[in-house]
Structure 1
Amino acid sequence: MEEDSSRFDRDRVIVPDEALPNVEAPSAAFLVQLFVVPGIIVSIIVFVWLAFHWLAHLGNDPQGYVRTLRRDNEGRWQAALNLANDLRGPGGGALKSDESLAVELGKILDSEAASGRTAEQSLVLRQYLCRALGEFSTPAALNPLITRIDSNDDPMVRTAAVEAIAVLWSNLLLGEKQPSDASTVNRVVFKASQSVDAKLRSASAFALGIIGGDGTKERLQNLAHDEIPDVRFNAATSLARLGSKEAVETLREMLSLPDEPVLDDLGQAKRYRRAMIVLNALRAMALLVDSIDEVPEGVLEQVKKLESDPVADVRSSAIALSKKLSRHQSAEKLLLNSRGSEILKE
């Protein structure tokens, strides 16, 4: 047994030189993986952090935005987008009322449009500049938007300008800063509503409901029968805001949109869009009833059907509106009964 054990131990002896692989100098590829690639990754992280840090501090320096936007590079649209976001943000109050900033942005927008550039970066920049101007609360932001709407610019830019002027107009009304050129704004948006571009017509239908002016209701009544659903829906919403019964037919069309089963991402997007349309119709109907002081025939029954809608937001909004309409109808009946009693007494 001892002999076998000693033989086993001898067999286990390993010569050091045979146990280790040959030592070779590291290759260039290995060094690149070990040092250069991690260094590049760290550099990218630092660069991204510095970029966000720089963009974050632009909000504290309005002229920093102007300097960035005046530079002739392809990334200017990002600065315009960041400015629009900052204007909408919690700290955007000071920027919104900065008249000099609005004027400078308008000059940059005019200059970019006059350059004749048709590349995608230029179009995107002009759209974001329009949106940024729309977030202001000073009349100084109006003229550049009026110019874009009334120009032969790309329809996407003109659409962005119409959407922006609707937001700007709302801001001015909230701040009780009624501009003197209301008729000019109405004229250019009215003209845009006659465009062959459906998106421009749709944006104009929404904006007219906020801006108002001569001929607005008549134009919106025509748009409420447009062949494009989005145009009809925005026109009906605007008519409801203006207290016109002409909105009822199209609003009921919006309320009747069915909830389709979701089979893929496209189906999910369609379902979300349908929910937004129905919610807008419910809100518009509430505004209309308050304005005309009556419940249009058949509307309460249609709204009640939405109380069991698969979308929770639609259900809750429908329930709230049903209660409102029911109270209104009860009040109408009481009023009619009291009037009938008075007539009988006479």
Structure 2
Amino acid sequence: MTESPQESASIPESPLMDDLPPVQPPSAGFILQLFVFPALIVMAVVAVWWMFGWIAAGEQDWRKLLQELQSQNLHIRNRSMYGLAQVLDQDSRRGDQGQNLRANREITQGLTDQLIIELRKNSSSKEGVAIQEYLTRALGMLDPLDITAPALQMAMEPQRDLDIRKSAVVSLSFIAGRALERQQPLSNPESIDALIQLSSDPLPILRQSSAFALGLFHSPAATHQLEVLLGDGDEKTRVNAAIGLARQKSTAGFAVIREALHQPVGEPAAQNASATGTTSEGDRLRLEGEQFLVVKNVLKAVKELAGKLDDSQRQELTPLLESLSSKHPEIRIRVDATDALQTMKRVSR
């Protein structure tokens, strides 16, 4: 059977296949325009909505937490205590955009009352001590010292755990320090008396911290005790007393300041670690951190006293400052030493 011309003829390829453009994947820019940019806009809108909603709820949150602080349920009470401290911390981080909860007397009274309750329990359990320490530190975020002072003084009593006593001094330092920044120095007699008593404690760490705190209060009693502490057997206590006096524009601690600046430049932390037998890396780093803060604070004290020093005192400090400004391994110390040196030269003209 013969094939028909139609069956035997070859079928030509379609010209449409060659006319189509080549397929290419979408570019990164196209994907950004199509998906990522709209997604970022949506996320920004949601974030703004969430932020304003969270800020609006903040006013209700602290009031609710303050009510729960009175609960008989231990878990609810502890949760509200930690929650209030977090609200205070978050509000302080927002600065002028916050609610200024530092000055809120309701929150201050609520947390103070709770600390007094916990201190009266005098629990020595791990959880009890942790709660007392947490509340003691939380009071340092609040400004009304007339409310917090009794509780902080209780926390400094000799029978308390060491960490609680230290936390009380730190809180007083924060409160008094903020008052100084506002140019409203505090002179709370009860708090000063408590710090003076603590500055005679056998433990050097308590004498050091109380000397620092006393320097933030303005009163004749605080100044007198700082002058007494210039003769303390512990070096850091002497230095903190001298720094405190400098903050009050007193040159009584000049000899201690000069001694602190007379440390050999190089590796003093390693030398001290070897001398005390603390040669571990952690001890070395801790000593370096402590010495850095000592020198930094002493240099700040020199700047504050620059206008009060006489010519002979400036001449004694000049070579020490020049050595620190050119040879100290820490650049921040070199900068601060240069700044203190220039300040001294400027006021001596």
Does residue 248 in structure 1 map to residue 265 in structure 2?
A: no
Does residue 133 in structure 1 map to residue 139 in structure 2?
A: yes
Within-5 A mapping of 1:119-158:
119-138=125-144, 139-150=146-157, 152-158=159-165
Does residue 283 in structure 1 map to residue 300 in structure 2?
A: yes
Structure 2 vs 1, CA of residues 293 and 63 (structure 1 numbering), >3 Å: closer, same or farther?
farther
Does residue 299 in structure 1 map to residue 299 in structure 2?
A: no
Match of residue 210 from structure 2 = 204
Within-5 A mapping of 1:203-242:
203-242=209-248
Secondary structure at the aligned position of 1:136 is classed as: coil
Secondary structure at the aligned position of 1:61 is classed as: helix
Give the conservation status (yes or no) of the 8 Å contact 2:251–2:308.
Answer: no
Q: Which amino acid aligns with 1:303?
A: L
Structure 2 vs 1, CA of residues 281 and 153 (structure 1 numbering), >3 Å: closer, same or farther?
same
- How far apart, CA to CA, are the structure 1 residues paired with 2:250 and 2:237? 17
Secondary structure at the aligned position of 2:216 is classed as: helix
Does residue 267 in structure 1 map to residue 284 in structure 2?
A: yes
Question: 1:175-220, CA deviations, whole angstroms, 9 ceiling, x for partnerless residues?
Answer: 57677x7222221221121222222211110111111323323321
Q: Which amino acid aligns with 2:344?
A: L
Match of residue 32 from structure 2 = none
Secondary structure at the aligned position of 1:129 is classed as: helix
2:94 equivalent among 90, 93, 115: 90
- How far apart, CA to CA, are the structure 2 residues paired with 1:142 and 1:93? 23
Question: 1:113-169, CA deviations, whole angstroms, 9 ceiling, x for partnerless residues?
Answer: 111211223222222212221221224333322333356422321221122122212
Structure 2 vs 1, CA of residues 284 and 94 (structure 1 numbering), >3 Å: closer, same or farther?
same
TM-score by length of 2: 0.68
Give the conservation status (yes or no) of the 8 Å contact 2:137–2:171.
Answer: yes
Aligned residue-pair number: 276
- How far apart, CA to CA, are the structure 1 residues paired with 2:87 and 2:125? 22
Q: Which amino acid aligns with 1:315?
A: R
1:103 equivalent among 101, 104, 109: 109
Structure 2 vs 1, CA of residues 60 and 89 (structure 1 numbering), >3 Å: closer, same or farther?
farther
TM-score by length of 1: 0.69
Secondary structure at the aligned position of 1:163 is classed as: helix
- How far apart, CA to CA, are the structure 1 residues paired with 2:310 and 2:87? 42
Give the conservation status (yes or no) of the 8 Å contact 2:62–2:84.
Answer: no
Q: Which is further off, 66-75 or 151-160? A: 66-75
Does residue 190 in structure 1 map to residue 196 in structure 2?
A: yes
Match of residue 63 from structure 1 = 63
Question: In percent, how many aligned pairs have the same letter?
Answer: 21
Q: Which amino acid aligns with 1:63?
A: R
Give the conservation status (yes or no) of the 8 Å contact 2:108–2:142.
Answer: yes
Give the conservation status (yes or no) of the 8 Å contact 1:205–1:220.
Answer: yes
- How far apart, CA to CA, are the structure 2 residues paired with 1:72 and 1:318? 53
Q: CA shift at 1:59, angstroms?
A: 8.1
Give the conservation status (yes or no) of the 8 Å contact 1:59–1:86.
Answer: no
- How far apart, CA to CA, are the structure 2 residues paired with 1:280 and 1:176? 20
Q: Which amino acid aligns with 1:287?
A: E
Match of residue 334 from structure 1 = none
Structure 2 vs 1, CA of residues 119 and 264 (structure 1 numbering), >3 Å: closer, same or farther?
same
Q: CA shift at 1:314, angstroms?
A: 0.4
Structure 2: which 5+ runs fail to align?
Answer: 1-53, 271-279
